[in-house]
Amino acid sequence: MRSSRLFKLQAGPAFRYLVPIFIIYAFTVLLPLLISMYYSVHSEGNAKFVGLQNYVALVKDNDFWFSLKNNIIIAVICVAGQVGIAFLIASFFMTKLLKLEGLHRIAIFLPVVLAPIVTGYLWSLIYNYRMGVLNWVLKLFNMDPVLWLDNPSYVLYSVSVPLVWQYIGLYFIIFLAGMQNISKEVLEASEIDGATWYRKTVYVILPLLKNVMSVALILCITGTLKVFDHIYVMTGGGPGRSSMVMAQYAYNNAFTMSRLSYGSTISIGMLILCAIILLVMSRWIGGGEEK
């Protein structure tokens, strides 16, 4: 009886703090999700209930699967670029070779605080055919300028570079925090045994950062599967549908073509696919621990 009363006294303030958070979460996440599910099973204009008819159309929609393929390519590039490069930079910070660490840390993290719209606009200027910095550099070496954002062969890689550039700093900070928590005795013991930077990074630091690496991979893949702002600003999904991603495709259907029901269906389809990919990743990453 006494313990029950004590629990109520301790739990009461906690529930009061959680209620505002739950209300905000319900209005910003749960309610839009429920509305999207409602629209996805109704015809355009909310005229009548159509069941899974929109989902059957989505499965047969080649443009949706093409957008998913673009998302996967961008995710692979971002995993290699954001996570891979960030890990290498963080491991370099653990050496005693680097000077002015604080200045470098700020410079690497600074792009993270920029709005995606600003980053997209900035890189649109860099990629500009006539006035862009990249084509200016190519001209210095007597090379022809390139249509970075208007050539279907290059555009998917071109829109991936700003994503890599902006979020390297985020994963760099995550990896650096993880590396600084590794026992100094372990690192010093590897150095006494004659381990080079490469061997220490691959055989000592990387295995000890397995959980941190798992979190970074999940954040990177989920982030790139719902990417929208950068590509919307730089190409709008073009030329044609060359750089179309799932979020852009849902936006075009819902707001450009006024197909709100089908746009909601695409959004729910994205959610299901992301959940499946995350589930597969969790099983793959956690498989070693279960054994």
Residue 108 lies in a domain: yes
162: nearest Cα among 215, 242, 106, 224: 224
CATH number for the domain spanning 72: value is 1.10.3720.10
* Per-residue pLDDT tens digits for 172-189: 999 999 998 888 888 888
pTM across the whole model: 0.86
* Per-residue pLDDT tens digits for 110-133: 999 999 999 999 999 999 998 899
Residue 47 lies in a domain: no
Residue 184 lies in a domain: yes
Residue 24 lies in a domain: no
For residue 291, pLDDT beyond 50: no
Range of the domain at 257: 53-287
Give the pLDDT band of residue 96 (cuts 50, 70, 90).
confident
Residue 245 lies in a domain: yes
The pLDDT mean for the chain works out to 88
Residue 58 lies in a domain: yes
Task: Say which residue, 202 or 1, is predicted with more confidence.
Answer: 202
What is residue 252's predicted lDDT score, i.e. its pLDDT?
Answer: 93
What is residue 20's predicted lDDT score, i.e. its pLDDT?
Answer: 86
Helix or strand (DSSP H, E) at 109: helix 101-109
**DSSP type of residue 42:** B
Residue 217 lies in a domain: yes
For residue 159, pLDDT beyond 70: yes
**What domain count does the chain have?**
1
What proportion of the chain, given as a percentage, has pLDDT over 70? 94
What is residue 4's predicted lDDT score, i.e. its pLDDT?
Answer: 59
Q: 29 vs 21, 26, 99, 137, CA distance in Å?
A: 12, 6, 45, 45
Task: Say which residue, 5 or 221, is predicted with more confidence.
Answer: 221
* Per-residue pLDDT tens digits for 271-281: 999 889 888 88
* Per-residue pLDDT tens digits for 19-64: 888 899 999 889 999 999 999 999 887 778 888 899 999 999 999 9
Q: What count of other Cβ atoms lies within 10 Å of the Cβ of residue 261?
A: 22
Residue 43 lies in a domain: no
54: nearest Cα among 255, 228, 254, 279: 254
- Residues 6+ positions from 247 with CB-CB distance below 8 Å: 226, 227, 228, 270
What is residue 59's predicted lDDT score, i.e. its pLDDT?
Answer: 93
| Mean pLDDT score, 147-170 | 92
| Mean pLDDT score, 82-107 | 86
